[in-house]
Structure 1
């Protein structure tokens, strides 16, 4: 049983990465473009350049999309995790100590989810693996020999 679960691990990580990246990118798209109902509870979009909300939305959209497709997963996940830690401590923590009391559960969950992806990588189906496979194949190719006349 354990062997079967272990063999499915890259696929489970990939599904976790895809869902987490998609949800994060949707938050960014909602804040930047007003799609999917816009900003939760307020509608509309974040004004361009508004600190820190506009920058957070850009990070959510870009990092979420990169994590979704599995390209640069570890770096994008680290950036996303840091932005959610900042969101929790700067926006939510001042209201109350516990995430349940201050509305920061989503920030905490995203922060820890992305931190997990920093250490696990993209899993199966990620473009990271495709890029790594191509670069490994290019490294193994023998140098071309000039044709002797």
Structure 2
């Protein structure tokens, strides 16, 4: 069972990255352009418009797997900033201050920073030609490592 799960890990990470990036990009597009029933944010307003640009561009880059770790790091920081400046002053816990979305996005992007893009990433196309093998963070190198021994 562990061998099958380990084999599927890069694909699960890739799908996770695609879904998180897509949701984040949609959030940015709705804020920037007034899509999906939301009002658009006026250009240049701080911090809303800049956050929306990070959401749209960062989400699209993470979705495509291009510059994944950098885009995920910036996106995670953006959501940490949003949580602590917008939500946390209202109440301590995310359930009380409507900050669940910001908290989840922050931690999801931080996970992507450390795990890499997984499968289906454009990053793999750019790095595999230079290194002659799987790209860093693609999950491919994980397949070659033995499974951890259960205690």
Q: TM-score range by the shorter chain?
A: 0.7 to 0.9
| Residue number in structure 2 paired with 1:21 | 21
TM-score, structure 1 normalization? 0.87
Q: 1: CA distance between counterparts of 2:36 and 2:122? A: 27
| Residue number in structure 2 paired with 1:58 | 53
Q: 2: CA distance between counterparts of 1:91 and 1:104? A: 8
| Residue number in structure 2 paired with 1:7 | 7
Match of 1:133 among 128, 135, 140: 128
The structure with the largest alpha-carbon Rg is 1
SS of alignment partner, residue 80 of structure 1: helix
Match of 2:99 among 100, 104, 107: 104
Shift of 1:36: 1.6
SS of alignment partner, residue 35 of structure 1: coil
String of CA shifts for 1:68-125, please: whole Å, max 9, x gaps.
Answer: 0000000000000000000000000000000000000000000000000000111000
SS of alignment partner, residue 36 of structure 2: helix
String of CA shifts for 1:15-74, please: whole Å, max 9, x gaps.
Answer: 000000000000000000111222xxxxx1001111000000000000000000000000
Q: 2: CA distance between counterparts of 1:26 and 1:135? A: 33
Shift of 1:135: 2.6
- Unaligned runs of 5+ residues in structure 1 are 39-43, 138-149
Shift of 1:136: 2.9
TM-score, structure 2 normalization? 0.86
| Residue number in structure 2 paired with 1:34 | 34
